Structure 1
């Protein structure tokens, strides 16, 4: 697919950094330092409970929950490809222009070139971010393609990101992954994420952490009912539930063996 080619081309140029040219003017003085570059740690939910404990029995309750955990992790891992664009940016390269912080880079290799423009602007307690790509290759060209955009509260309490794909028919961007998150105190986190295909939402999930308790609610256009997965990473127990009826819960204990839900307090 063309959008895959776009991602692969720029990712290769970014990761290997064959030729790097800072396109901005000398940094313009400002009363403040440029904002800290986002790390996107809130895009990917903490699924270490599953990744650290692969199921031993493919037919177990835990195995069913594990499958959804891996699927959600696979969706959000795509963000790493996009955010690799930030690996070269440093505070020293930022220029302050018309109330905005601007980072600009150009990459070239074997006749193909790509440029990255990253803009940050503070407004109403948030830092608004936008990254655009311009690509010139033997196969196609893109100009000012918005690969991602979003905003983060200056106190780090909330934010949202939209990761875009290329529509090969219109040569314009369209949402690929849209996520919104908030933090309320230590180890209390909530996010809502939509995954798009061909301009329409096909998968949605919410992820919440309340201290040591985690809940994921997963919705898919091809599924008749929502799926809920809950786990307690201190007790080691959890359950998988189809639909809203708690009678449909399938539970496991701290050895990941099937048990009655009442025996583990669910």
Structure 2
């Protein structure tokens, strides 16, 4: 009997010291992909209406903002797993829904994450509506402009990448002049390109591809990496390319007509 009492006392002391058994441990948090897809849709609806400043007021956004703050490892897993950073899915037309609103083209992936592509030309008068081309998935189409011979212009090709927040913003800025027979690119840069934790652009370069011709081209290359939590290195990497083409269509009477087109490959 004494031995039994000693055994029971020992077992009781173990329970007091280690109150949780393996089966009673709290389950590790996991990503709810269905709920995140629902939130992506809510974010898209606001961004596509020009109301991105209202995203933070969404109750579901506030829930996941706190969730990712408390679980930084899962935030890295979430961003790494977005369809917008999956090269195979970016090349599959069946997995992308495209819509045009104003001067912006939206590309929505299966998981609800999305991209916004736009071209902004300063110094020229827009002449015609956008003409979409279907040969490339992410394509502004040819946009027509009028200007004066010898005039200088600036084109900003911009691609925004969204999950529940904007995770990346790429810019290819091309400055050029046009005379009656050719266009000349004077400078190219990636000014304005930025990203948000846990992702970042580890590399961004801009180059002139073709110059001093009727059709000229510039290109930007961007490498986006997602950092793992607590210094564990790089969790994922995605590469994007932006190419801008300026094409002189006609010239006469001191005026020129030209198109600008930007495409993105990811």
Please report the TM-score for the alignment, with normalisation by the length of structure 1.
Answer: 0.30
Structure (1 or 2) with the larger CA radius of gyration: 2
Where relative contact order (Cα < 8 A, 6+ residues apart) is larger, the structure is 2
